[in-house]
Each structure stands twice: as C-alpha cells, then as structure tokens.
Structure 1
Amino acid sequence: MPAERVFAAMNDRPRTTVHLLDGFGLDCDQARVHVVPSARKLVALLALREAPVTRSVAAALLWRETTARRAAACLRSTLWRLSEPGVVSTADDTLFLRPGVEVDFHRARRLVDAATSADRAPEPEAVALLRTDLLPGWDYPWLHEEQDWWREARLRALEALSARFRSSGDRLRAHQAALAAVQTDPLRESAHRTLVELHLAEGNPAQAVRQYTAYRLRLRSELGLEPSPEIHRLVRPLLGGR
C-alpha cells in the first residue's frame, strides 16, 4: 500500500502508545496489549529509528545469528503477529510505526533538549521521566548505542534541571533532580557536588559532609581514587584538620 494511503487510513485509529522507558509496553486506548518478545524487538527498533526501516535491515538486525532467508521468514511471522492492533505499517519494502503512535522515549528526548533551553520552563514531571532507563535488561547490539546516549544525555539534563530549579528558588525539585543523577551514576562527581552545594545552601552542613563522605568512600572502594579538589573545597571548612 502506498505511504499516502497508509497515512490517510490511520486517522480514526485508537490512541496507541509505545513505552521504551523503564521496560517495554504497548498500550491501546490505555489498555496494556500483550506482545510476544520477537514483536517487541521490532516495535522498539522502529520506535528508536523513527525513520522507515527496510525489511532486509530489520531482519538482519533482529535475527543476526541466522541466515537471511530464515530472518526474512521470522520477520514475516512477526509482522503477522503485529497485525492487531496494527502498530506497524508497511510501504513498498519499508517498515515504520503507524502514524499517530506515541513513543515515550520521543518525549523524553524533547525534555533533554528543553532542560538546557533558557526560553522554556522546566516541566515538573521531567525528573521522573529522565530518571528511567531505556529498555533495561535488553542486551542487543542495535540498542547499545542508544542506551549509552540516553544514559549520558539524561545525566546532563538532570544536572541542568537541578541548576535551573535552584536558580528559580525551587530547592525541592533541584534536590530531586540532583539525587536522580546520583542514583543513575553513583560515581558521577558533578552530581554529588551539586547535592553538597544544595545541602550547604539549605543550612545543613552535617548532611553536606555525609554526602561528601559517602561519595569519597565509594570512589575509593570501587576505583581507588580520591574526590577532586573542587568538591573537597566545599566541605574543607567543615572538616577542620581532617
């Protein structure tokens, strides 16, 4: 079916959402739809790529350990399983998500861009979305690069959000964003430094020292390293001669 006819035929379809953050899910009109593992991989691949993917590329990526003929057969079977609710569309030799299908990861990427945009106010729910992993537990070569990008991008976004919330006087959300960054990467010094600064700004020197000490012990235990002079300088007046 030509792409124009596919797009025109989708106007009256129910709302469908693909979830990639904190695990895979497919909702149709807010009801969870069961999807077999092979079909989950295809939907996730198309959701991440956004642009149409040829059948041969999809088959080679998803069934890379088998022959091209067998991979093509697996793809046909998977497409049949996805015929209802019809989340995947085809045009010529390409595959793509049905127009109008929402993907939570697309919104999360927009939040990353908005986090550092001075002309856009931070969204209150941004921290909750940015603290989630992309398809945790999935270990596929076609996914690794996207997972690595998302991990670093959301860490930077959380730190940027923390700074923006703090500058606007919202210390609670500033703390939540910095804590989410620390929980995502417990060895990320910039996030620990932000928490130390927030504790000091709130008049909690003991909590600032605890934060610094916990980070220092973990850094020494796991990597045999010491914190940088920058973060040590924040708590040095509180440590006396130690």
Structure 2
Amino acid sequence: MAAGLIGALATRAAAHAPLVKLLGGVTVVHASANWGMSIGAARLIAFLALHPGAHDRHYIAGTLWPDTPESRAAGNLRSALWRLNALPVSLVDADRCWVSLQSHVLVDVRLLSDWAARVISGDRTSDDFTHTAWDVACVDLLPGWPDDWLVLERERIRQRLLHGLECMARELIRLGRSAEAVEVALVAVNADVLRESAQRILIQAHLAEGNRSEAQRCYLEHRELIARELGVTPSDRLTALVAPADIGARRSPTDRRGRFRPSRTGQGPGPRRSRG
C-alpha cells in the first residue's frame, strides 16, 4: 500500500480528522484506532466517500440494493446508518431525506487522486515525493465489488493513479533518483502489463541507471507479450529507446571477436590493397 504517503497527506490536510480507507478494504482510522464494519455499512460509506455531497435516501437505497424491494432496501439503509452511528467516531450526517459524509472526514482515495492530479499537472509540493513506496493494490479500488455505481469510478481512479505513478517515475529520473523510479514504474507495469506508457518509463529508468541489459529484457518481454495477447508490435517511440543497442538488429557485420564478417555477396567493407 501507499500507507506512508496517505498518512502524510492526511496529516497535512487535517491531522486529527477521521480517515476512511477504501484501499485494502473499508476501514476507519481515527486517533490511532482502526474500525471495520459490516458489509452494508461498508458499501454505504464507500458510496458516500466516492460521491461527495448529500444524496436522497431513496436514491442511495435503490443504488446500493437495486434488486431488493423498495421497503427492504430502505430497511437495509437504516440498518447501515445505525451501524455507522454506533462507531466511536462520527462520519455521516442523515435526516429523513438526505445522507452525506461529514465534510471534515478524509478519504484515502480522494487524497491519492488529488496527489496524482498535482503530480500530473506539475504543481507538486515538496512533500509529494517524500514517500515513494507503493503497492499495486493501491491502484485497484475495491476489487471484487461488482456494483454498477462503482465501475466507472474505479476505472477513473485507476487511470488517474497510473498516470500519477508514471509522472512520478519520470520526475524521479530527472532528479537522479533512478532506483526509486524503477520501483514506482514497476507498480504501474504490474497494475497493467500491457500498458506501453508504463513500460516506457520503466525502460527509461533502467537506462538512467545504466542498466541497458535490463532495459532490453523489459522491451523484449513486452514485445513478446503484446504480440501474443494483442497481435501488435511496440510503437516506434518505445523501440527507439533500445534501438541503438537493440537485439543485434543493427549490429555491424562483425563476428563475436570483432573481426569483419563478409556479407552474402562476398563484398567487403571496401577495396583491398593488392599484394606484390
């Protein structure tokens, strides 16, 4: 996980505010304590965390329990609210019509999404690159949840974080922190092994470290993978990164000991001086 970064971002935003964590399971963190919750309460808090503002109770009930009769869905919502209100920390405002997450409550996904937006736009702060340890689990929001209301938001956040990781790795290369850039780029690659932009940053990070063999290995593995899975070849932009030392394709016609190897036409590199 990106626990170090999330903790730093939460402290900077509001040190004593409760934090709703959606990555790695729905939990609430406050005053060094952690609380889990029932699946109904977790689905409600996740919906409110991902959809800021107040929402009509009937709309929430119908969205979270779409295949349930209206009266039963309303009962499920009341039960979820009761369980949330039983927590030692206040998270939700609710009346007869509306339900919302309290404005002071922080959400890990929002913090990371805002962080990625700063990194992508170039408006990062001095603290945004202090914590570079990430895990691929941070990129996928609530995996296994099949809810329709979550699908688009999950993909939006996934793309935002992947772009943020790529920009972070690129900036780390520029700062001379190539080893960290490799680790960050690997998270993006592992999140989507077919994503060429992530592979490109990883190869650039290896080249920045002087590890040309690692760069070539990554390129060849990616080329083989996309040929098998997609039936395509790497872009010229990616190939150009490794082309000068590539795969023997542009190697001068010499044998392994560096001596000239005649071409099939039998012609040498130039006219030979006659003997005698």
Matched, 1:103 2:110: no
Comparing 16-25 with 123-132, which one deviates more in the overlay?
123-132
Paired residues for 1:77-92 under 5 Å: 77-85=79-87, 86-92=90-96
* Unmatched tracts of structure 1, length 5 or more: 1-13
Whether the aligned pair in 2 keeps the contact of 1:18 and 1:25 (CA below 8 Å) is yes
Q: Which amino acid aligns with 1:16?
A: P
How many residues align? The count is 229
Which letter does structure 2 place at the counterpart of 1:33? W
Structure 2 matches for 1:161-172, cutoff 5 A?
A: 161-172=168-179
Aligned to 2:32: 30
Q: Write the letter of the residue equivalent to 1:197.
A: Q
Percent identity of equivalent pairs? 35
| Correspondence for 1:240 | 248
Q: CA deviation digits over 1:191-224, x for unaligned, max 9?
A: 1112222222222111111111111121122222
Residues 184, 53 of structure 1: CA spacing in aligned structure 2 closer, same or farther, 3 A cutoff?
same
Flag the 1:160–1:32 CA change in 2: closer, same or farther, 3 A.
Answer: same
Q: Residues 88-237 of structure 1 correspond to what in structure 2 (within 5 A)?
A: 88-121=92-125, 122-125=128-131, 128=134, 132=138, 133-237=140-244
Taking the aligned partners of 1:91 and 1:73, their CA distance within structure 2 comes to: 15
TM-score by length of 1: 0.86
Q: Which has the larger radius of gyration?
A: 2
Give the letter for the 1:87 counterpart: L
Q: Which runs of 4+ in 1 moved over 4 A?
A: none
TM-score, normalising length: structure 2: 0.76
Indicate the RMSD between aligned Cα atoms, in angstroms: 2.0
CA–CA distance in 2 between the matches of 1:126 and 1:68?
46
For 1:9, the equivalent position in structure 2 comes to none
CA shift for structure 1 position 100? 2.4
Q: CA deviation at 1:15?
A: 4.5
Q: Aligned partners of 2:137, 2:39: CA distance in 1, in Å?
A: 25
Whole-angstrom CA distance in 2 between matches of 1:60 and 1:51? 17
Question: Is the Cα–Cα contact under 8 Å of residues 141 and 154 in structure 2 kept in the other structure?
Answer: yes
Counterpart contact for 2:18–2:105, Cα < 8 Å = yes
The unaligned stretches of length 5 or more in structure 2 are 1-15, 251-276
More helix by share: 1
Pair 1:162–1:110, CA change in 2 (3 A): same
Moved more, 154-163 or 195-204: 195-204
Q: Distance in 2 between matches of 1:164 and 1:229?
A: 23
* Contact 2:172–2:178, Cα closer than 8 Å, also in 1: yes
Deviation at 1:155, TM superposition (A): 1.1
Query: In the aligned structure 1, how far is the partner of 2:179 from the partner of 2:31?
Result: 34
Q: Separation in 1 of the partners of 2:111 and 2:29?
A: 16
